[in-house]
Chain A
């Protein structure tokens, strides 16, 4: 499937830091979702090259790893991805991310894991949040970019 690279570049300008939601990581790792092509374009292309520094939440680490662990698949390669992929940084939960999560949960009614991921983005002052969950649109102080748009 072709990726609308020009529109994606306009939504995620070079140099902007982004937070990747778990839904983006899973689309990338699965490779068979409608959003997989754009997730792969973004992660293997722009994140790997350092065009966009990417953050992930420790919540996403848990959510990604439950899959292989439940399926009794060796998780080593998943851990390598989460820990060693260039320009991809896992942000630990701390007071500031929890405080921000409380703000977005109070204002927008997000579920706790969604709020903690958005709160993490706020704590690192990410310019954009990239997700595959259209329900997040308009429910964050940080602009939401959904993969389905591209």
Chain B
């Protein structure tokens, strides 16, 4: 599936679960995901594995080539 967000190379990193379920993310993960203190991450559990992604601070401009100029009008005209 195509994406307008630039793909980065896949890497697998390791982190250890410590007391009170605390996990320290490797610096490489923090850098790759552009995270900083206070950011929220989403863990999507799929069976016995998981993917992690950051919650973005802004979504402005992510859809530059997704909606053309007449998009919404056409969507609404299809109702009648």
Residues of A within 8 A of B (CB): 22-23, 26, 28-32, 36, 39-40, 43-44, 48, 63, 66-68, 71-74, 76-78, 80-81, 84-85, 111-114
- Residue-wise, chain B 60-80 has the 8 Å CB interface mask toward A (1 for contact) of 111111110001100111011
Asked if residues A80 and B56 are in contact (CB atoms below 8 Å), the reply is: yes
Q: Which residues of B contact A114 (CB under 8 A)?
A: 76
Asked if residues A63 and B72 are in contact (CB atoms below 8 Å), the reply is: yes
Kindly state whether residue B58 has any CB partner on chain A within 8 Å: yes
Complex CA–CA separation, A103 to B17 (angstroms) = 56
| Interface of B (DSSP majority class) | loop
Q: Among the listed A40, A67, A76, which residue makes an inter-chain contact with B58, where contact means beta carbons less than 8 Å apart?
A: A40
| Interface of A (DSSP majority class) | helix
Q: Which residues of B contact A77 (CB under 8 A)?
A: 5, 56, 59, 62
Complex CA–CA separation, A80 to B41 (angstroms) = 11
Asked if residues B62 and A113 are in contact (CB atoms below 8 Å), the reply is: no
Asked if residues B79 and A26 are in contact (CB atoms below 8 Å), the reply is: no
Asked if residues B58 and A44 are in contact (CB atoms below 8 Å), the reply is: yes
Asked if residues B79 and A67 are in contact (CB atoms below 8 Å), the reply is: no
Asked if residues A111 and B76 are in contact (CB atoms below 8 Å), the reply is: yes
